[in-house]
Amino acid sequence: MSFFGKLFGGKKDEPMTTGDAIQKLRETETMLLKKQDYLEKKIELELDTAKKNGTKNKRAAIAALKRKKRYEKQLQQIDGTLSTIEMQREALESANTNTSVLTTMKDASDALKAAHKSMDVDQVHDMMEDIAEQQDVAKEISDAISNPVAFGNDIDEDELEKELEELEQEELDKELLGVAGPETELPEVPSGELKDKTKVKKKAVAAGPVEDDDEDMKQLMSWAN
């Protein structure tokens, strides 16, 4: 079994899923970060030891510097490993996202196919034609209802126009006669003198017959009657 197989606990015939691989990489990344902190502390400690023994114990100072160099080399290797793990984890996360997206798209496609199974294209076209036909029928009915009903279509319109012309001519003749004919003036009604003439009439009747040549009396008599 390979090193990565041992590291991730995978089997040869059973590949690890992307989710499990991402989880394992994160665990390894956490472990290496802890190792990195440990080495940085060891480097600081060895550096302090070398400084303290620099003038007193040269051999101990050199040994401390050698250990510091080894720790720094390990730290450098861990930095490279962390970079590799980070890139691999990001690639797996991207692949996992793509897998989820593709799975969702496939499920949507399957659902769409299932929805279209109950539909037939020819049936849909027939249904749309029926709808259009019914709309045309509805429009014809609306037009028929909105048009006024015509009664008395058997009446001769020419006869009606002739009758209308006769009526117009009759009205025109009346207007012409009214303009050309003599105006009849009624005599003015006497007002203030009526009482006096009435009294005169009474006196005349009492005195004797009225003369025919009295025009005023004749006019008065006509109004009195």
Please write the tens of the pLDDT for every residue from 103-152.
999 999 988 888 878 777 788 888 888 899 999 999 888 888 887 655 55
Asked if the structure places residue 210 within a domain, the reply is: no
Range of the structural domain that residue 40 is part of: 22-100
Asked if the structure places residue 27 within a domain, the reply is: yes
Asked if the structure places residue 58 within a domain, the reply is: yes
Cα–Cα nearest to 26, from 77, 86, 78? 86
- pTM value is 0.43
CATH number at residue 35: 1.10.287.1060
Lowest mean pLDDT among 4-8, 76-80, 91-95, 122-126: 4-8
Structure tokens belonging to residue 60: 């101990």
| pLDDT tens-digit readout, 146-204 | 876 555 556 677 787 888 888 888 888 888 887 655 555 555 555 554 445 444 444 44
CB 65 within 8 A of CB 50: yes
The amino acid present at 28, given as its one-letter code, is T
Q: How far is it, in rounded angstroms, from Cα 70 to Cα 32?
A: 17
* pLDDT over 70 at 37, yes or no: yes
> Mean pLDDT throughout 41-62?
90
Question: Total domain count for the chain?
Answer: 1
